[in-house]
Chain A
Amino acid sequence: MFTSLRYATILLMLAPVNSMSQENVPTYDGSIKSILIKRCGKCHGGDQPRGEFEVGTFDGIMHGGISGPAIVPGNSADSLLFTLTAQIEEPSMPPNSPKIPASEIELIRTWIDRGAVEKAGSNMTTARQGAADTGRERQTPTGLKPFQPMTAATAVTAVAVSTELGLIALPAVKSIHLYDLANGKPKGQIEFPEGEVHSLAFHANGQRLIASGGVGADSGAAVLFDTKDWKRLAEVRDDSEAIITADISSDEKLMVVGGPLKTVKIYTLPDAKLIHTLRKPTDWVLSTSFSPDSLLLAAGDRFGGLFVWESRSGKEFLTLRGHTKGVTSLAWDASGDRLASASEDGTIRVWDLHSGKESHKWLAHQQGVTGLGVTSTGDFVSTGRDRMIRIWNASAEKIAEFGPINDIPTKLATSPSHIIIGDWSGKVYLLKSGKNTLDNLQIPVNSSNTFAIGTIEIPLPELADSRAALSAETSKFSDSKLNSNSVVIPPPRQVTQPDIERKRLTLRALEESAERLKQEASMDPTNSLLIKAYLQVCESIVSIKADLIQTEQVLTKRNADSP
């Protein structure tokens, strides 16, 4: 039985190695590219990669940088990509940071040692086989899918509403939920495997939906959907950060995205080609918006910066100075002559685009404005950290207010018929035009209590080894004589009769304890800890019994040996 167990172990150990050698050879396209872009792309990517070393393409990686080639295929030990990443050599990478996860370093090492191939089926000698199959690896399922409730309510990070379609769009886990505007019932969902959804907006009278989001600090995407069949019309991706805000021009020719990378990027549609990277913002880009005539583009950052560019040329048009904290939301008036901005500094400001001057400014929500929109009647609607919703006319007079709502409102959307507000706790409110009350949208939740504090295991503390300390002298002596490969066999300790007595004594005490525990446990059967303790004691009894028998044998043998 012992032997068969050992074989089983060997088999288990062999299995993964075997399969690796045949099919799981890592490839650049398969896994290395995404690791390198994720971990190194911030510096070694883009237009001006650091050290002239670019990791985003296979050619770039093979070409190396100013320090020479990064890879010697088949030899990771001589490959800077590995030695610097494993922080064996200087300058260690990533600079001034801990190593990337060991599993990824290992993958890089294996990839290099196995020849640093580009994709499955290719090898170094055949070089690149043209760019025929550079299409996306995985096909995202499109179309309307059955509605699946979330397991818990979470902050409403985006909201969109369309009167024409009669739909509300809300974020869900890697998907977008659609609700019927008329009766509040869930209608289905669209997949968004890219991650969390940070912005949603309907365009062109409900014919288009733009969604942006991703995985923070990892990857991002902005996707344009055709609401007719919920197919993807265009996609923009970012290799290192989520996209917080996205917008398309009314002529559907341009898309703008922004996020924590502090850049505003303009793409053409439908080919999703990057035409401008605007680096004016000094902090995360929180809001972007095209003017109604598509000619101008505005973006606000987390530092209070507010900038306007010409959308086509990317030429700077205006810098609107005034906000002292993050610009959270932007709204154009129908003519495109005026832009309203909302900020964490508590104010809403209206800017005249002809003069570049602030034409109105008012304190809307003392602790910060989180959302801003223009209603069908041309009024402003705002939400704030005071949990209030306020409606203002064009001369900044408050004409209505609602709230306080359950938590801090996070996002706001307007349509000719409705204003929709989502808050941090996951609640969604509807305000129908002409009505003076807030309605609640019922968000179904399939709660699953996966986590419970009581089940979290508490680790045992580490103890000092007093025995080793007391015998430190002897071990030091033997250490010097032994090399690391030799097996240290502890010298047999002289067992004495008192030892055996002690063990017997302990055994008896333990058996009594076990008995007591069993009784206690039978009186309190719900207490699992008692049963656990009982089992533990039983285990100890078994091991002591075994030890005792062995010790007795040793002693008997010795007594027999000695004359």
Chain B
Amino acid sequence: MFAFQTLLCSLLTMLPPSGPEPVKIEVFPTQVSLTHARDRQGLVVQAIFADGSGLDVTDASNFNLDRPIASIKNGFLAPLADGKANLSVIYRSRAVKIPVQVSDAQKVLPLSFRNDVMAVISRAGCNTGKCHGAASGKDGFRLSLFGYDPEGDYFRITREMGGRRLNLASPENCLLLNKATGRVPHTGGIRVEPDSESYKILTTWLDQSAPTDPAESRVLVGIDVYPKEAVFAKPGLKHRLVVRARYSDGTDLDVTRFSVFVGNNESAAKVGESGLLTATGPGEAFIMARFDKFTEGSAIIVRSGKPFEKSVDPKAGEIDNLVLAKLDKLHIRPSGLCDDETFLRRAYIDLIGLLPSETEYDSFMADQSDDKREKLVDKLISRPDFGDLWAMKWAELFQIRTTNGISDKALKSYDGWLRSRISKGESIDSIVRELIPAVGGSFDNPPVNYFQTETSPQILAENVAQVFLGTRIQCAQCHNHPFDRWTMDDYYGFAAFFSRVGYKGAMDPRELTIFNTSEGGISHPVTSKSVKPKFLGGDEAKIPPGTDYRNVLSTWLTTPDNPAFARNFGNIVWAHFFGIGIVEPVDDSRVSNPPSNPQLLDLLARKAVEYRFDVKRLAREICLSKTYQRQTSRNETNLLDNRNFSRQTARRMRAEILLDCINQVTGTTDSYRGLPEGGRAIRIPDGAAQNYFLSTFGRSERETACTCNVKNSPTLSQALHLLNGETTGGKISSGTVVPKLVQQLGDPNAVSTALYLRCLGRRPSRSESEKIKAALAQSGDPQIGLEDLFWALLNTNEFLFNR
């Protein structure tokens, strides 16, 4: 009757847990394989409740193995005997079965420097940047940063200083252990507790004469962190993380206790040394585990614990549904949709960088049709200004500027090339396919200027990765990236694509000819071996002899199968319309900086491919989503949310657009280098062109490929310039808008309404009207009063910001 053919090895307590019944439980990892005597695997059991929240119930679950091949305590499996079995995990009414396999249960693997000793050193924090991992070491002893160079570390620990650091004849009394345990003064204090597992691993290694690893040692290929995500119902709950390392021979190992945990938002969740995390407050956190050269993360959501009603919106589109799904997880209600006036101004600024005129305002407001917003978006994206705006954005990323000997003539042709491609309707992928493999003279074939702007293979590789793949690989030039997956091999493999860019002069001394050298390469600084071109995050490139490396690269970059290119494109377009990317900063996608909504990013990437990287179509789709059309005001549930598009963000207009708008409303023009009088600031060809207003308001000088060169942060000089500078006061009087309006309309109150419409895209409110009326009555000359009003409007945040 009780056919309990089970072994209850671990008995937590027999009291049934209280609390609600889960809809399911999940057990991580989903299979266990123990391959040697010291192999262990920790499990984490997550109960999922009807509201979508999860709870770590590992401590309250029962673990039953149907054959006694392993022992289980604290959800931690240790091998007993070889064989296969099923492990039943039971929590309340829910059960999950996972396979367990044990082999070589009695076999003790020899200690490995690479896999065991280095794990102890990394976990103890010896090789961090502020300790011995610093470029010049610390207190006379250097290790490679986060252990990117294990062979070098082995040399430095054992043989660099003869017998100072180790003493194999008295392992427990050598400098390495004396320092680590704080028995002798150590700037880093006590890093390893005597009698801990770490301490014993070190002493045992020394006792075995500090051997190095055999050449054919298994190599770590990756780590997994469990669970990948957790949703906490309220602050105060705890959850444990399990880290599993995967090796080249197919084995795995629980390395939780040797991993270093870091969180990115302690106000939502913090993580302890053992990988136990605690929800501290509502919000999101990303918890990273680092082991050896790998970093992986777990996405944590903490709800406020207050009652929440799911938002239901039958009219929501694809984009909206993904945004709402995330907001539901967070228990956040989105803000409502903005009114027509707000939408009109927002769409104008975002799509063409100008403000709606009074006539445009009137006709839009008068339109009663349901699809008037759609019609407006279609009208705006077909205006040439839309192309100009995007040409400016790409020009920033291509760093189009007179630098490194690029002459005005070459620059003009470079800028002209980009604009002509965009006005012809060419999309970014085909532009990139023309840009990256470009050869020829810098006058004849403008895109070769890209290779004159930056000339070193390393920087070219960094820029291409940052601009077209949204990834910063700079760190990996000198050491494996500590918080991402990039290693020095990846870095130099990618840089190798640019190792055959040749330069020679041309007839005209201002011109440079770029050609493919068809030989040469780049060498790895640690191994000094020549590195073959390798796609970033992909395989080594198969390049037929005689083919230009860059040709192969540009094809790989822009192929629809390259998710990074499409995601990056989608993210750049998205960020333009929200002031913040799904990955933010847009060009810093990495393991430790994950997208706030991966499903949304994937959707945009899919759309990008579907639309063949046509900015217009993607922009149209985004602008017509409810998500784009939300108000900027907050409700009580999204007060703290800045990353999940639960509302629109108020964004200061970028420098060029702001100046164009000021010129537009004051009816004035400016002259810029390289443009005829009256040209728009967004069309300035040269990043190095100087303009006081634009520099003050953070125009990108295009000195690097980083999107951070565009600065939208407020400064005191901006405020002072608007208050006292020529740009406002001077343009108001020279543009003679007020006298013209006075002449045209007569009534000062009608003029004030017209000024409101011009600058803010709305009519003055009743209280504003009354104040204006009173103020105008006080000032003797209505023109002066109205010009004062105009000046005041240009100084309002409402004017400066797109909301």
Residues of A that sit less than 8 Å from B by CB: 38-39, 42, 94, 97-101, 150-157, 171-173, 196, 198, 215-218, 240, 242, 244, 260, 283-284, 302, 370, 385, 407-408, 410-411, 424-426, 449-454, 456-467, 469-472, 493, 499, 502-503, 505-506, 508-510, 512-513, 516-517, 520, 524, 527, 529-530, 532-533, 536-537, 540, 544, 547
Residue of B nearest to A529 (CB): B80
Q: Which residue of the partner chain A has the closest CB to B279?
A: A469
On whether the beta carbons of A461 and B256 are closer than 8 Å, the reply is yes
**Given A469-B237, A506-B11, A537-B9, A453–B168 Cβ distance below 8 Å?**
no
Nearest A residue to B12 via CB reads A463
Q: How far, in angstroms, from A544 to B80 measured CA to CA in the complex?
A: 24
CA distance A433 to B163 in the complex (A): 28
In the bound complex, CA of A132 to CA of B55 (Å): 71
A533, B80: Cβ atoms under 8 Å? yes
What 1/0 flags go to B171-205 for Cβ under 8 Å of A?
10111001100111111111000001100110110
12 A-B residue pairings within 8 Å (CB atoms): A154-B167, A154-B169, A155-B162, A454-B38, A456-B200, A460-B74, A461-B274, A463-B240, A467-B60, A529-B80, A529-B105, A544-B11
Which residues of A have CB within 8 Å of B237? Answer: 464, 469, 472
Contact of A459 with B197 at beta-carbon distance under 8 Å, contacts A464-B239, A472-B236, A544-B14 already known:
yes
Q: Which residues of A contact B773 (CB under 8 A)?
A: none
User: Which of the listed residues B8, B42, B209, B240 has the most CB atoms from chain A within 10 Å of its own CB?
Assistant: B8
CB nearest to B158 among chain A residues: A424
Identify the stretch in B16-24, B387-395, B704-712, B733-741 within 8 Å (CB) of chain A at 4 or more residues.
B16-24
Q: Which of A216, A463, A465, A536 contacts B175 (CB 8 A)?
A: A216
A97 touching B8 in the complex, CB below 8 Å, given contacts A464-B276, A502-B16? no
In this complex, which of B7, B73, B236, B238 has the most chain A Cβ atoms within 10 angstroms of its Cβ? B7
Rounded to whole angstroms, the CA-CA distance of A156 and B183 in the bound complex is 24
Question: By the criterion CB–CB under 8 Å, are B140 and A155 in contact?
Answer: no
Q: Give Cα A493–Cα B4 distance, bound, in whole angstroms.
A: 28
Cα distance, A466 to B16, chains bound together (Å): 12
Q: Is the interface of B mostly helix, strand, loop or mixed?
A: loop
CB < 8 Å neighbour of B75 from A154, A171, A216, A463: A463
> Is A152 in contact with B209, judged by CB distance below 8 angstroms?
yes
Give bound CA distance, A98 to B203, whole Å.
Answer: 24
A464: which of B73, B190, B240 is its contact (CB, 8 Å)?
B240
Chain A residue, CB-CB nearest to B182: A101
Residues in B with CB closer than 8 Å to A218 are: 178, 183-185
Q: Within the assembled complex, what's the spacing in Å between the Cα atoms of A460 and B73?
A: 8
- Does B431 belong to the interface (CB within 8 Å)? no
With both beta carbons as reference points, the residue of chain A lying nearest to B202 in the complex is identified as A451
State the Cβ distance, B205 to closest chain A Cβ, in Å.
9
B168 and A154 within 8 A (CB) = yes
Set of chain B residues within 8 Å of A408, measured between Cβ atoms: 159
Asked whether any CB of chain A lies closer than 8 Å to the CB of B576, the reply is no
Is B170 in the interface zone, CB < 8 Å from A?
Answer: yes
Known: A152-B207, A217-B178. A424 touches B163 (CB 8 A): yes
Name the B residues within 8 Å of A503 (CB-CB). 14
Q: Are B189's CB and A466's CB within 8 A?
A: no
Q: Do B204 and A452 touch across chains, with their CB atoms under 8 A apart? A: yes
Give residues in B with beta carbon < 8 Å to A: 2, 4-9, 11, 14-19, 37-38, 40, 42, 47, 55-60, 68, 71, 73-76, 78-81, 105-106, 108-111, 140, 158-159, 162-171, 173-175, 178-179, 182-190, 196-197, 200-201, 203-204, 207-209, 234, 236-240, 242, 256-257, 272, 274-276
Instruction: Give the chain B neighbours of A157 by CB distance below 8 A.
Output: 162-164
Complex Cα–Cα for A6 and B6 (A): 41
| Residues in A neighbouring B162, C-beta threshold 8 A | 155, 157, 370, 410-411, 424
Residue of A nearest to B43 (CB): A461
| Closest partner residue, chain A, to B80 (CB atom) | A529
Query: Which residues on the A side are within 8 Å of B234 (C-beta)?
Result: 472
User: Could you say which residues of chain B place their CB within 8 Å of the CB of A520?
Assistant: 68, 81
Report A-chain residues with C-beta under 8 Å of the C-beta of B204.
Answer: 451-453, 456
- Asked if A466 and B11 sit within 8 Å, CB to CB, the answer is no
- Docked pose: A278 CA to B202 CA in angstroms: 37
Given contacts A459-B197, A465-B59, A537-B9, 8 further A-B contacts (CB under 8 A): A154-B166, A216-B175, A451-B203, A464-B239, A508-B4, A510-B11, A527-B80, A530-B68
Which single residue of chain B is at the shortest CB-CB distance from A461? B42
A466: B residues at CB distance < 8 A? 17, 47, 55-60
Q: What's the Cα separation between A412 and B38 when bound, in Å?
A: 43
Contact status of A464 and B184, CB under 8 A, knowing A217-B179, A424-B159, A520-B81:
no
With a CB–CB cut-off of 8 A, which chain B residues contact A155? 162-163, 166-168
**Complex Cα gap A173–B178 (Å):** 15
Bound-state CA distance A493–B238 (Å) is: 24
Report chain A residues within 8 Å CB of B47: 466
A173 touches B169 (CB 8 A): yes
B106 A527 Cβ-Cβ under 8 A: yes
Q: Which A-B residue pairs are the 4 nearest by beta carbons?
A: A98-B189, A155-B163, A157-B163, A464-B238
Q: Which of A152, A242, A509 is in CB contact (< 8 Å) with B4? A: A509
Asked if residues B14 and A547 are in contact (CB atoms below 8 Å), the reply is: yes
Docked-complex contact A527 and B81, CB < 8 angstroms? yes
Assuming the contacts A218-B185, A456-B204, asked whether A260 and B140 have C-beta atoms less than 8 A apart, the reply is yes
User: For residue A155, which residue of chain B has the nearest CB?
Assistant: B163
Tell me the bound Cα distance from A529 to B272 in angstroms. Answer: 31
- Given A157-B163, A424-B158, A464-B239, A533–B37 Cβ distance below 8 Å? no
**What residues of chain A lie closer than 8 Å to B140, measured between beta carbons?**
260, 283-284, 302
Q: Contact: A463 with B197, CB < 8 Å?
A: no
Q: Which residues of A contact B75 (CB under 8 A)?
A: 461, 463
Is B6 in contact with A513, judged by CB distance below 8 angstroms? Answer: yes
A179 CB to closest chain B CB (Å) equals 16
The residues of A that contact B239 with a CB separation of less than 8 Å are: 464
| Chain A residues whose CB sits within 8 angstroms of the CB of B58 once the complex forms | 463-464, 466
Q: Check if B78 sits within 8 Å of A458, measured CB to CB.
A: yes
Q: How far is the CA of A218 from the CA of B19 in the complex (A)?
A: 57
- Known contacts A462-B240, A465-B238, A153 near B209 by CB under 8 Å: yes
Please state if B207 and A451 are interface contacts (CB–CB under 8 Å): yes
A216–B163 touching, CB < 8 Å: no
Chain B residue contacts of A151, Cβ below 8 A: 169-170
**Contact present for B185 and A217 (CB under 8 Å):** yes
By a CB distance below 8 angstroms, the chain B residues around A460 are 73-74, 76
Query: A512 — which chain B residues lie within 8 A by C-beta?
Result: 4-5
A-side contacts of B208, CB under 8 Å: 451
| A411: min CB distance to chain B, Å | 7
Query: Shortest Cβ distance from B322 into chain A, in angstroms?
Result: 30
Contact call B186/A462, Cβ cutoff below 8 A: no
Given the complex of chains A and B, what is the CA–CA distance between A533 and B4 in angstroms? 18
Q: Is the CB of B14 within 8 A of A172?
A: no
Given A173-B170, A506-B8, A217 and B19 touching (CB < 8 A)?
no
Least CB separation from B5: chain A residue: A512
Q: How far is the CA of A47 from the CA of B5 in the complex (A)?
A: 78
- Contact (Cβ within 8 A) A98 B188: yes
Q: Contact: A469 with B14, CB < 8 Å?
A: no
Residues of B within 8 A of A540 (CB): 8, 11
Chain B residues with CB under 8 A of A467: 17-18, 59-60
* With A469-B55, A529-B80, A536-B9 as contacts: A462 and B274 at CB distance below 8 Å: yes
User: Which residue of chain B has the shortest Cβ distance to A509 in the bound complex?
Assistant: B4
Q: Give the CA-CA distance A527 to B68 in the complex, in Å.
A: 13
Q: Which residue of B lies closest to A551 (CB)?
A: B14
Q: How far is the CA of A461 from the CA of B650 in the complex (A)?
A: 47
**Alpha-carbon separation in the docked complex, A547 to B274 (Å):** 32
Q: How far is the CA of A486 from the CA of B47 in the complex (A)?
A: 34
CA distance A425 to B163 in the complex (A): 10
CB distance from A372 to the nearest CB of B (A): 14
CB–CB B167/A517 < 8 A: no
* Complexed CA–CA distance, A453 and B19 (Å): 43
Contact of A529 among B42, B71, B274 (CB under 8 A): B71
> Which residues from chain A contact B167 at a C-beta distance below 8 Å?
154-155, 173, 196
Q: Are B163 and A196 closer than 8 Å at their CB atoms?
A: yes
